[in-house]
């Protein structure tokens, strides 16, 4: 079999397998590379070059913002709810039901929560929701 054809078959098989898995450990990849006949120096070079074409792990801030959120649709519901609550809080402060300082603290929290949720959704959109950690 020609080398480029063997490479294409193995690359396709790896993509199919990767779609079924959520994450891999480097030690497992190293063993798989060794079993496939890939030299350790070539593997280490590929690992160093890893940022090119390989999905990075989801950052902690994205995992925190989307913790317990099952889908993009649910995340967008939270995003909308954070910003929709702001006028109600301001109305409560104007009506005297809520002290102004408390209302401002809540508004700042809601604005930050909405903004960070939106940023987390945008980060996940760029990388694909099926690859969440």
pTM recorded for the entire structure: 0.54
For residue 82, give the nearest of 44, 49, 48, 113 by alpha carbon. Answer: 113
| pLDDT band at residue 90 under the 50/70/90 scheme | very high
Q: Would you list the domain boundaries of the chain?
A: 3-48, 60-131
The answer to whether 120 and 72 have CB atoms below 8 angstroms apart is no
Confidence check: pLDDT of 64 > 80: yes
Confidence check: pLDDT of 73 > 60: yes
For residue 110, give the nearest of 86, 94, 78, 93 by alpha carbon. Answer: 86
- Predicted confidence at residue 52, as pLDDT, reads 55
d(CA 55, CA 9): 21
């Amino acid at each position: 079999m020609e080398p480029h054809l063997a490479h294409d078959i193995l690359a396709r098989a790896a993509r199919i397998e990767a779609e079924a898995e959520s994450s891999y450990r480097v030690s497992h990849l190293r063993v798989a590379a060794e079993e496939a006949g890939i030299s350790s120096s070539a593997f280490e070079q590929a690992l160093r070059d890893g940022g090119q074409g390989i999905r990075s792990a989801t950052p902690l801030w994205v995992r925190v913002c989307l913790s317990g959120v099952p889908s993009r649709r649910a995340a967008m519901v939270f995003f909308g709810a954070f910003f929709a609550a702001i006028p109600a809080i301001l109305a409560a402060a104007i009506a005297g039901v809520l002290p102004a300082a408390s209302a401002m603290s809540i508004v700042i929290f809601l604005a930050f929560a909405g903004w960070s949720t939106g940023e987390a959704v945008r980060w996940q959109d760029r990388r694909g929701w099926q690859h969440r950690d």
